[in-house]
A and B are shown apart, each in its own frame.
Chain A
Amino acid sequence: MNGVLDFVAGLGRTVLDIVRTAGRVALFAAVALSHMVRPPFYWRTLWGTLVEIGYFSLPVVALTALFSGGVIALQSYTGFAQYHAQNAIAGIVILAVTRELGPVLAGLMVAGRVGAAMSAEIGTMRVTDQIDALSTLSTNPIKYLVTPRLVAGTLALPFLVLVADILGVLGGFTVCVMKLDFSASAYIAATLASLKVMDVTVGLVKAAIFGFLIALMGCYHGYHSRGGAEGVGAATTAAVVAASILLLTFDYLLTDVFFSQ
């Protein structure tokens, strides 16, 4: 009996912890977003973060998308060739890339690269008193550190996903034409026939939401890190894990909203 009660009590505590953390994150995000409409605006920080996310993440996102598009084409061919349905591969590649692979893979890459960096940078500032120093220098730390990063994350990821979409399709095209001897013109025609504005648009909307979530997790965990280098390390891990889980959760929810009918 005691074992059952302990289990229920533990479950209750876990649920309460989750609800409490969700509330704190929501409040943190609301405060940060409220600073978007109140001056001063830190354009220099915003531009720096945009470049950091949008430009310096390009190589990793590009390579991921290129190879993923190629893998989709190869795997599809393995299955579809049995039923002589190779003509459907171009459509499968563009559907998979624009709807799912582009936003999700770019999001996961950026979560690992940028989310971790944001958390580590802000966490280090926290444990070395730099955030307290901001407060003593007429600067609101959330307005200065968090708001520009949330805006930059939301704006930069759609751009990266657009690049990932193009390169993912290019990866599929390269594999099909160079390795599987497809006709280039036929592949391009099939791709264009399967290309839907709605798919690309939803992918970009997903990307904007993912970018916001990645930046939010990086900033939240960094801002609340404690206890020196170990605390910063733990915050960085938590930021990447939380961002990845949230990203996949929201991916399902958004897919359900946009494509369930």
Chain B
Amino acid sequence: MTEATPKIRIRGLKKAFGPKVVLDGVDLDVMGGTSFVVIGGSGTGKSVLLRCILGLITPDAGSIEIDGVDVTTLSPRQREPYMARIGMLFQNGALFDSLSVWENVTFGLMAAARIGRGPRITRAQARQRAGTLLEQVGMDPAVGALSPSELSGGMQKRVGLARAIAAQPEILFFDEPTTGLDPIMGAVIDGLIADCVRRLGSTAIAITHDMASAQRIGDRVGMLYQGRLIWQGTPSTLFDSGNPVVDQFTHGRREGPIKVDVPT
């Protein structure tokens, strides 16, 4: 019996910006249909890791396989079909200011249709589809007519989530989905994320430094520290990992192996 191929397999991923080494040989397997949460302090390379997988940043070394294909060796054009299978919720929503909410939600669907990678869709159909997607993330379809600047932070996150799941992607990425939200809205967003991932059967990677969020979203959790994933485990072991670095981080202790420069 052969071992199942992970949906996403990362080996020896390295990235440095000048003298600053951000990723120093990251190894990660994420099995299909599961959610993996990467935790870590600010500036430890969590976002860089996601951006490397998305192809927004070119890694210095290492491989990133999606369904067994190393996407780092592909040309941008060859890479496009793989990227089309990924949905992303950005930290601040990254909604397009110049478009209405419904145009934001269905932007990917219309773009895919335009390049022949998705079914043709009229603007009327797109608007109707946006209403359905907005309902799925707990919003009134009437919000579709508004501009993103008229929405609160939590509503922008929900619209961003609706946009990310619009094309029913096989893979979903979440960049600090609860940052800047109050605890209740954070829990609502986490619930929606978990629900969407389960409903679509997607493989998900989320990055966060919100421990409650990590426990709500993840099937597995890993900690990125000094450019490497130093620990992986289940959310239930997050606060009792046995790793002093992880324990200091999850309990928010000032004393421990992680040294934080605090200006005096």
Contacts and interface: CB of A to CB of B under 8 A. Distances in A.
Contact of A135 (B83, B114, B117, B118): B83
A128 B175 CA distance: 13
Contacts of B90: 129, 132-133
Contact of B91 (A39, A129, A137): A129
B145 interface: no
B94 A132 contact: yes
Interface residues of B, number: 27
Given A132-B56, A138-B117, A139-B111, 7 more contacts: A121-B98, A129-B94, A135-B56, A136-B88, A137-B111, A137-B163, A138-B84
Contacts of A125: 96-97
Interface in B31-78: 51, 54-56
A69 B26 CA distance: 67
Interface string B79-120: 010011011101110111110000000011001101101100
Interface in A103-143: 121, 124-125, 128-130, 132-133, 135-139
A79 interface: no
Contact of B54 (A128, A130, A135, A138): A135
A40 interface: yes
Interface residues of A, number: 15
B92 A136 contact: no
A133 B108 CA distance: 10
Contacts of B92: 128-129
A39 B117 CA distance: 13
Contacts of B118: 138
Contacts of B97: 124-125, 130
Contacts, number: 52
List the 6 closest A-B pairs by CB distance, nearest first: A137-B108, A129-B94, A133-B94, A40-B114, A138-B111, A136-B88
Contacts of A39: 115
Contacts of A135: 54-56, 83
B130 to A, nearest CB: 14
Contacts of A137: 107-108, 111, 163
A226 B247 CA distance: 35
A130 B56 CA distance: 12
A128 B91 CA distance: 9
A80 to B, nearest CB: 51
Contact of B80 (A121, A130, A138): A138
B96 A40 contact: no
> Max chain A CB contacts within 10 Å: which of B80, B83, B86, B94?
B94
17 contacts: A128-B92, A129-B92, A130-B95, A130-B96, A130-B97, A132-B51, A132-B54, A132-B90, A133-B88, A136-B86, A136-B87, A136-B108, A138-B80, A138-B84, A138-B117, A138-B118, A139-B111
A39 B86 CA distance: 23
A139 B91 CA distance: 20
Contacts of B95: 130, 133
A176 to B, nearest CB: 46
A39 B112 CA distance: 12
Nearest to B56: A132
A133 B54 contact: no
Interface string A130-168: 101101111100000000000000000000000000000
Contacts of A129: 90-92, 94
A89 to B, nearest CB: 47
Most buried by B among A125, A130, A132, A136: A136
B252 to A, nearest CB: 27
B153 to A, nearest CB: 13
Contacts of B86: 136
B31 to A, nearest CB: 22
A128 B84 contact: no
Nearest to B47: A129
B199 to A, nearest CB: 20
A89 B138 CA distance: 71
Pick the most buried of A130, A132, A133: most chain B CB atoms within 10 A of its CB: A133
